[in-house]
Chains A and B, each alone.
Chain A
Amino acid sequence: MATIEMKNIVKKYGDGFPAVNDISIDVADGEFVILVGPSGCGKSTLLRMIVGLEDITSGDMIVDGKRVNDLAPRDRNLAMVFQNYALYPHLTVYENIAFPLRLAGKSESEIDQKVREASKTLELDEHLERKPANLSGGQRQRVAMGRAIVRDAKAFLFDEPLSNLDAKLRGQMRTEIARLQKRLGITTVYVTHDQTEAMTLGDRVAVMKRGVLQQLATPRELYEQPVNLFVAGFIGSPPMNFLPATVEGGKVKLPFGDFDLPQEKAAKTEGKGLLMAGIRPEHFEDASVMDGGSDSTFTAKIDVREWLGDQQYAYIPYEAEQQVQDQLKELAKEVDSESLRTQLVVSLDSASRVEEGQEATLHIDTRKMHLFDPSSGDNLTVGL
């Protein structure tokens, strides 16, 4: 059990490019912190600096109150689960799990007791004598975790542990990891590019982009109060809609019409020229299925509709100026996706009967709308 403090951590490679730039994160004892971001954002590098597999260019890495910058991995007493598991193929499952204990020179009886304990926790009992080659992906994953939990490490570090599993198994193992972490109450840092994992597992989530920490917050806060365009676009699926907007006279002007904006939001954004409005798909609704009607509505032609049973998504293309289109493209590239056209994604009640190719009247909830400065990307309405 331990805290992990990262203070102004910087990692520069030979060419001077900072893969990790001035990151400070405090992980509390027993906390589950997720590092998330698109590929190449430095999240894995940061994790490897915690465990000691990468040198730290500058800054302090403090584990359990002790500066570990110059300690070898074996002296840091942290356990790590690798993306490809890195099991020892020449050893049986039992010996794989016992490996760290043997290195520590534990007695045979103690090793046996601990290995059995770990294998019981992970339901590996009947596989102990098999070699990793004869195990399924999920079983290998559990062996890798067994190797981590068998020693009383100060913290667990996971490097995209589920990315090699198929979708169904991934869901199961995710729950399994959450349960294990809660039960052992051990400090955990978990790297992933999958936002579902990030949102469901983490006590707090650190979103990174190009080596820079964007926001460190609880999953709920990330979702509801993203500090900038990048976080807003990265978290949430389907992603937040971004629309060009201008605020004048307490109203926000969108491509679909003018809508009243809550006063405190209007005050912050009034007269700032062209802004970027961010609205999540669920903050739209089919006006015809709403009780009591709504005054902020607009009509739009539904292009494609996807009915999922509990809800449905509708896609509404719109024309935008080149400048806006370019910015949306840039944003999409940053979060590892691709925007083919400027379109609105709205999530509608499953009872809605809107038809493809037909006009529909939609409600927009401007209270939940965020307004971003397009040049800096900052959220101007954060906390409102």
Chain B
Amino acid sequence: MNMTKNRVGIVIGCALILGWCLLPVAWIISLSFKSQEAITNGSPGFFPSSGTGAGWKNYEDVLKDDQFKHAIFNSIGISLISTVLSVIIATLAAYAIARLEFRGKRFVLTTALVIAMFPVVSLVSPLFDMWRTFGIYDTWLGLILPYMSFTLPLAIWTLSAFFREIPWEMEQAAQVDGATSWQAFRKVIVPLAAPGVFTAAILTFFFAWNDFVFGISLTSTENARPIPAALSFFVGADPFNRPASLLAAGAVVATIPIIVIVLFFQRKIVAGLTSGAVKG
């Protein structure tokens, strides 16, 4: 009796949360299947009424658009590169922070946290000036750098917490078994910290993929403009009448890669990977 009550409660709770989170997504998906006219005329309804549906036409248009294709390519490239670099650097830094005693360790950690708390917007204009002087304005590098510096602190904090959980003996055993410090790190510690590494990777990828402020202010052409910024430049023939259904289709397409990446990484985040290492 109690069990079934619990069950019902859980189902209702889940449904509420899912409804709350997914309603905007559902609305965007519904919009993306409607014709432009239906939206311009107002109150299009959730399901396209007869004659207002556009089928896959919006998606075809979006994917045919050169600007959009460039933006997708830029976004994937920039996000992946910043994720990979950020995770590699964060792993090494976090390992040092977790394992070594050195002067200024606290300083490094607090500075990292301060950087993460800095409002992004306040950095945009100085970066704009600097990047133009350095000649990396409107390039991939110009976006990868700020993305990395904003995601590194979080990645370092996450990973050093993971490393601290791994018993010292693991490395010592490896060293006694004949491993160099680097081998012990690569063959024993990194595999054990894999859940942490993938958590950091997801966080970094999210940040880079969803960023709008840097994306729109540090780019000017299709050269490096990522999707969120590109979507805002999506204007049809009439600048006062933005193609809402086309935008919706673009937004849906832009969401797909991130879902794929999360699903892929999520499988790697297996909790309790270290169980069985020590004691009984």
Name A residues whose Cβ lies closer than 8 Å to a Cβ of B.
51-53, 72-74, 77-80, 82-90, 99-100, 103-104, 131-138, 140, 147, 151, 164-165
Instruction: Tell me if B1 is interfacial: C-beta within 8 Å of chain A.
Output: no
| Bound complex: CA A82 to CA B179 (Å) | 16
Given A90-B191, A90-B273, the answer on whether A84 and B176 have CB atoms closer than 8 Å is no
Is there contact, CB below 8 Å, between A86 and B172?
Answer: yes
A52 surroundings in chain B (CB, below 8 A): 175-176
| Bound complex: CA A73 to CA B181 (Å) | 10
Instruction: Tell me if B113 is interfacial: C-beta within 8 Å of chain A.
Output: no
Is there contact, CB below 8 Å, between B277 and A89?
Answer: yes
| Beta-carbon contacts under 8 Å, B94-109 to A | none
- 15 residue pairs bridging A and B, Cβ less than 8 Å apart: A52-B175, A74-B176, A74-B179, A82-B172, A84-B278, A88-B173, A89-B273, A89-B276, A100-B178, A103-B178, A132-B276, A132-B277, A133-B275, A134-B276, A147-B177
B172 surroundings in chain A (CB, below 8 A): 53, 73, 82, 86
| Bound complex: CA A137 to CA B280 (Å) | 5
How many residue pairs at the A-B interface have CB separations less than 8 Å?
A: 91
| Bound complex: CA A85 to CA B183 (Å) | 19
A53 CB contact (under 8 Å) in B176, B191, B279: B176
| Bound complex: CA A136 to CA B279 (Å) | 10
Task: Report whether over half of chain A's contact residues are helix, strand or loop; otherwise say mixed.
Answer: loop
Q: How many residues of B contact A (CB 8 A)?
A: 27
Is there contact, CB below 8 Å, between A89 and B192?
Answer: yes
Instruction: Tell me if B13 is interfacial: C-beta within 8 Å of chain A.
Output: no
Is there contact, CB below 8 Å, between A79 and B274?
Answer: no
Report, nearest first, the 9 A-B pairs whose CB atoms are least far apart: A133-B276, A137-B280, A84-B278, A86-B169, A86-B173, A132-B276, A100-B177, A89-B277, A103-B178
Nearest CB of A to B85, in Å: 25
Instruction: Tell me if B180 is interfacial: C-beta within 8 Å of chain A.
Output: yes
A165 surroundings in chain B (CB, below 8 A): 280
Is there contact, CB below 8 Å, between A136 and B280?
Answer: yes
B45 surroundings in chain A (CB, below 8 A): none
Is there contact, CB below 8 Å, between A72 and B170?
Answer: no
B274 surroundings in chain A (CB, below 8 A): 89
Given A82-B169, A89-B192, the answer on whether A74 and B178 have CB atoms closer than 8 Å is yes
Instruction: Tell me if B188 is interfacial: C-beta within 8 Å of chain A.
Output: yes
B167 surroundings in chain A (CB, below 8 A): 84, 86
| Bound complex: CA A83 to CA B279 (Å) | 8
Is there contact, CB below 8 Å, between B277 and A103?
Answer: no
| Bound complex: CA A52 to CA B176 (Å) | 8
Is there contact, CB below 8 Å, between B176 and A79?
Answer: yes
Nearest CB of A to B56, in Å: 45
| Bound complex: CA A51 to CA B176 (Å) | 7
Is there contact, CB below 8 Å, between A86 and B280?
Answer: no
Which residue on B lies nearest to A169, using beta carbons?
A: B280
B170 surroundings in chain A (CB, below 8 A): 86, 88
Is there contact, CB below 8 Å, between A86 and B276?
Answer: no
Is there contact, CB below 8 Å, between A140 and B280?
Answer: yes
| Bound complex: CA A52 to CA B277 (Å) | 22
| Bound complex: CA A147 to CA B172 (Å) | 14
| Beta-carbon contacts under 8 Å, B175-201 to A | 175-180, 183, 187-188, 191-192, 194
Nearest CB of B to A303, in Å: 40
B175 CB contact (under 8 Å) in A74, A90, A133, A137: A74
B176 CB contact (under 8 Å) in A78, A83, A104, A136: A78
B273 surroundings in chain A (CB, below 8 A): 89-90
Nearest CB of A to B231, in Å: 42
A89 CB contact (under 8 Å) in B174, B179, B275: B275
B192 surroundings in chain A (CB, below 8 A): 89-90
Is there contact, CB below 8 Å, between A85 and B278?
Answer: yes
Which residue on A lies nearest to B170, using beta carbons?
A: A86
Is there contact, CB below 8 Å, between A80 and B276?
Answer: no
Nearest CB of A to B47, in Å: 50
B183 surroundings in chain A (CB, below 8 A): 103
| Beta-carbon contacts under 8 Å, B264-280 to A | 272-280
